[in-house]
Chain A
Amino acid sequence: KAGVTQTPRYLIKTRGQQVTLSCSPISGHRSVSWYQQTPGQGLQFLFEYFSETQRNKGNFPGRFSGRQFSNSRSEMNVSTLELGDSALYLCASSLLGMNTEAFFGQGTRLTVV
């Protein structure tokens, strides 16, 4: 059974650019949640999508957005990148929702220069 797949694994972008990250959940899972992990702030919740609808949202500015497709794959977009957006971005998939058993992908390491 394939796990959660995140692409790309590594990304380098310039300040002001935008970036799109992709997450393919485990087959049959309808919930995808996104997280940002940095050494200073730790792991922080961005948002959760379930059946193409944003169900929960963390305290991040509007530059961070996401969407989910009918096949449950999800994308996260960050516009007008700032140096502070450099982080490991993780997604997790779950059958029933983030308040149940969830499985993390390997993450996308974003570096903003």
Chain B
Amino acid sequence: QKEVEQNSGPLSVPEGAIASLNCTYSDRGSQSFFWYRQYSGKSPELIMFIYSNGDKEDGRFTAQLNKASQYVSLLIRDSQPSDSATYLCAVILINTGNQFYFGTGTSLTVIP
């Protein structure tokens, strides 16, 4: 099992819909979880980080963390064509000495 797993997609949603991106991780003791967005040819940019179980909202983005089930998700409400990008989930795994692991990314396309 990989340390962090994401569905590679591609995921396509119509404009205005909710996009749901999911990520699972292997280390039950992990404390820090991140979602990055990466446009083609650009560097990753942080969307959100979450440490505690539950939901964290920032504008159209909501991160959901469930430590018992070892998954973290990202919901994008009112999806816009400008949201079309690859979304990377990242986790700091404690059992490997605080190493930062990234998923392979989910490619999202928002169709106008």
- For residue A58, CB closer than 8 A to chain B, the reply is yes
Inter-subunit contact A99/B43 (CB<8 Å):
no
B: number of interface residues (CB 8 Å): 20
Inter-subunit contact A56/B88 (CB<8 Å):
no
Inter-subunit contact B43/A107 (CB<8 Å):
yes
- Nearest residue in A to B51 (C-beta to C-beta)? A99
Classify the secondary structure of A's interface with B. Answer: strand
Classify the secondary structure of B's interface with A. Answer: strand
For chain A, which range describes its interface: under 10, 10 to 19, 20 to 34, or 35 or more residues? 20 to 34
Inter-subunit contact B97/A102 (CB<8 Å):
no
Inter-subunit contact B97/A99 (CB<8 Å):
no
Inter-subunit contact B100/A56 (CB<8 Å):
yes
A90 to B44, CA, bound (A): 9
Q: Interface code B48-83, partner A: CB below 8 Å = 1, 0 otherwise? A: 010000000000000000000000000000000000
A100 to B49, CA, bound (A): 7
- Ordered by A's residue number, 6 sampled pairs between the chains whose C-beta atoms are within 8 Å are A33-B100, A43-B44, A43-B90, A48-B100, A90-B44, A98-B100
Which residues in A have some Cβ–Cβ distance to B below 8 Å? Answer: 33, 35, 42-45, 48, 55-59, 90, 98-107
